[in-house]
A and B are shown apart, each in its own frame.
Chain A
Amino acid sequence: MRSFKIALAGLMAASVGVAHAQVTPPAQDDQSGGLVVDVEGGMSAPLPILIPAMPTSAVASTPAGSTDELGRKLAQIVDDDLRNTGLFKTAGPGATRGIAYSEVAQPNYAGWSGGQALVQGYVRANGNGTLTIGCYLYDLAAQTELVRQGFVVSPGDWRRAGHKCADSIYARLTGEGPYFDSQIVYVAETGPKGKRRKQIAIMDQDGANHRFLTNGQNIVLTPRMSPKQNAIVYMSYENRRPSIWIYDMSARTNRRLVDNVSQNFAPHFSPDGRSILFSMSVAGNTDIYRIGTSGGQPQRLTNVPGIDTGGSYSPDGSKIVFESDRGGTQQLYVMNADGSNQKRISFGGGRYATPVWSPRGDLIAFTRTGGGAFRIGVMNSSGGGEKLLTSAWGDEAPSWSPNGRVLMFFRAAQGSGRPDLWSVDLTGVNARKIPTPLDGSDPSWGPIRP
């Protein structure tokens, strides 16, 4: 109990966003026999993990609910996040016994069965109105502690602490980067097929905290979140002038970014968040341009006749992948960020569209159409190594998770055309529908939150 208190002493200082206090656990990584989850093959044998409700030091009521209720809900968030990866077989707060507060940092290793790993945590209401959530991961066979983390949040951000906890566990066990504490911006849709009503909406990665950002008066398409998470860029038909708008997330204001009589669309942020790639159609010819987020004169990057669109930067900002039908049908091309050295990288049958560069840099995800199907696939960033991950009538527009392990896309139904958001693991398994209040399309997965 003594070390427990010492470990947490450092957590009390900050209270903005999710304050992240990390106590480095004993190094385990180099030891053979440590608990490891294999992201490539792990779904055939998910790791059994126990996640009891998180106890509270003292029951207190907070704007987010009482601390003992929160402890149960937080464990459920960790349960859901881990289970949804397909890599874990979870026993959450409904399937495990309750634990005492004193047990959190001193697990009863021998008293648990049915799991190889154990997540314990606690909730505490602090005097200044914040909450502290502790998060511990134990290897039940080796009887060792693998993760010890604490998060200080305002009550309104309580769910984020659960995602941060799950991220810590996922990262520790898989060696992959985190992705649960992130947001999705997408187009919420409703109405008849010939006249869909579309609104930009934003939600947490798990569908919580959903809200609409536009009112549905204008057609809006292809929202994309800034890597700095301070803006969303999208296309709107406002005043019947289809063009790119940018929404400032803190000021909650929006403005037309590209002020041109020519239709402009397909915006994508640069990795540093300071400029935007987009497409503009002039007299029937569509090229790719770049513009600063504060506006100004766009710089033209392509000039071959054809429809050049869907530009997406490599994570280091040095290259751009895009689609073009300059050779007859839509194919993928890579060029330098200044537009030089344009080279085709897709050579399979059918058409290739909507390329997006992986945040790790090694892969490009795309939509491949042909043979009556729209499918999501990936290939090496230099071309080759193609792998198709889905097969459906209408899968389109992949977006990478912040760690480059999962792709979100939309799946339109044949006939009704109604789309839903789906995600699929990079291995092509664990395809999963993401619940949204209305239909959903054009997802853009934002970065991991600070």
Chain B
Amino acid sequence: MSKMTTSLVLGLALVATAGCAKKRPPELPPTPTEIAPPSDGSSGESSDTLAGRLNEQFKREVTSDTVHFALDQYDIDSEARSILGSQASWLVAHPETRITLEGHADERGTREYNLGLGDRRANAAKNYLAARGVSATRITTISYGKERPLALGSDEGSWAQNRRAVTIVIN
């Protein structure tokens, strides 16, 4: 938590000095409730929290935390079935945990469409896990569209890595 606060303060300081105009940029007021968690995705909690440690354990003990998809597709192929199968077994064995499924798309689709496509992928993975015995109430989904690529190139290899759904244990 202290780490989070520090980064928030830093963020605000950046904003305060970013504008060169005479008037300070009238940024939107901060969230009235608690400090928002970092919302930039793809990473989950840092490993020094309980959820972070659980997620590290999950990643060590399953085949992979990530399944991939073909261009503009969201069907679960045989490789993805194998990966999700290992995730389902782990989740059934750890019934106290909850997960977020992040859906992602490559940069070769338009932004808004890709938000819908990432949602499709996250839900396809969610449905598969649910069919393998993981209660759907333990699973939330979020789509990042093309906003958080993992591989940074503009080539087929990078795009294939970025068309993905990532399972993150959140508690």
Could you tell me which A residues sit within 8 Å of B by CB distance? 192-196, 209-219, 221-222, 237-240, 242, 247, 252-254, 263, 265-266, 279, 281, 283-286, 307, 309-310, 323, 325, 329-330, 353-354, 367, 369, 374, 393-394, 396-397, 412, 414-415, 417, 442
B19 touches A195 (CB 8 A): no
Q: Which of chain A's residues has its CB closest to B170's CB?
A: A240
Q: Say how far B15's CB is from chain A's closest CB, in angstroms.
A: 4
A442 to B122, CA, bound (A): 25
25 contacts between A and B (CB under 8 A): A195-B40, A211-B19, A212-B15, A213-B28, A214-B27, A218-B39, A221-B147, A222-B112, A237-B39, A237-B40, A238-B36, A240-B37, A252-B28, A253-B28, A265-B112, A265-B115, A266-B112, A284-B74, A309-B112, A309-B113, A354-B110, A393-B154, A396-B110, A396-B111, A417-B149
B28 touches A214 (CB 8 A): yes
Q: Is the CB of B147 within 8 A of A283?
A: no
Q: Which residues of B contact A213 (CB under 8 A)?
A: 25-28
- Closest chain A residue, CB of each to CB of B107: A417
Task: Please pick, from A196, A263, A307, the residue contacting B113 in the complex, using a CB distance under 8 A.
Answer: A307
B59-92 contacts to A (CB < 8 Å): 72, 74
A194 contacts B42, CB within 8 Å?
yes
Known: A215-B11, A307-B116. A240 touches B28 (CB 8 A): no
Does A219 contact B40, Cβ atoms closer than 8 Å? yes
Please give the distance in Å from A356's CB to the nearest CB on chain B: 12
Cβ–Cβ contact A279 & B149, under 8 A = no
Complex contact A222–B111 (CB within 8 A): yes
What residues of A have a CB within 8 angstroms of the CB of B150 in the complex?
A: 194
Closest 8 CB pairs of A and B: A284-B123, A307-B116, A281-B119, A286-B116, A353-B110, A212-B25, A237-B39, A266-B112
A to B contact number (C-beta, < 8 Å): 150
A216, B8: Cα distance in complex, Å: 10
- Say whether B111 contacts A263, CB under 8 Å: no
A369 pairs with B152, CB closer than 8 A: no
Contact present for A286 and B119 (CB under 8 Å): yes
**How close is A422's CB to chain B, nearest CB, in angstroms?**
16
Q: Does B120 contact A (CB under 8 A)?
A: yes
Q: Are A218 and B36 in contact (CB under 8 A)?
A: yes
Query: A397, B111: Cβ atoms under 8 Å?
Result: yes
B12 and A215: CB pair below 8 A? yes
- Chain A residues within an 8 Å CB radius of B27: 212-215
**Distance to closest chain A CB from B39 (angstroms):** 4
Contact indicator B123/A283 (Cβ below 8 Å): yes
14 more A-B residue pairs beyond the given contacts A218-B39, A239-B31, A284-B74, with a C-beta to C-beta distance below 8 A: A192-B152, A211-B21, A217-B8, A219-B39, A221-B111, A237-B41, A240-B41, A242-B142, A252-B28, A252-B29, A265-B112, A284-B120, A369-B110, A396-B110
User: Is there contact, CB below 8 Å, between B21 and A210?
Assistant: yes
Interfacial chain A residues near B23, Cβ < 8 Å: 211
Name the distance in Å between B145's Cβ and chain A's nearest Cβ: 8
Which B residues, 8 to 54, have Cβ-Cβ distances below 8 Å to chain A?
Answer: 8, 11-12, 14-15, 18-19, 21, 23, 25-31, 36-37, 39-42
**Chain B residues in 8 Å Cβ range of A286:** 115-116, 119
* Bound Cα distance from A284 to B123, whole angstroms: 5
How far does the Cβ of B163 sit from chain A's closest Cβ, in whole Å? 15
Query: In the complex, what distance in Å separates the CA atom of A210 from the CA atom of B53?
Result: 43
A366 closest partner in B (C-beta): B110
Q: Are B15 and A215 in contact (CB under 8 A)?
A: yes
**A369 CA to B71 CA, complexed, in Å:** 14
Q: Is A252 a contact partner of B26 (Cβ separation < 8 A)?
A: yes
Question: Known contacts being A194-B42, A194-B150, A219-B40, is A281 close to B143, with CB within 8 Å?
Answer: yes
Q: Counting CB contacts under 8 A, is B133 at the interface?
A: no
Contact with A along B96-134 (1 / 0, CB 8 A): 000000000001111111011101101110010000000
| A415 touching B154 in the complex, CB below 8 Å, given contacts A218-B39, A253-B29, A369-B108 | yes
Q: Which chain B residue has the least Cβ–Cβ distance from A415?
A: B154
What separation, in Å, do the CA atoms of A354 and B150 have in the docked complex? 25
| Pairwise interchain contact A193-B109, C-beta atoms closer than 8 A | no
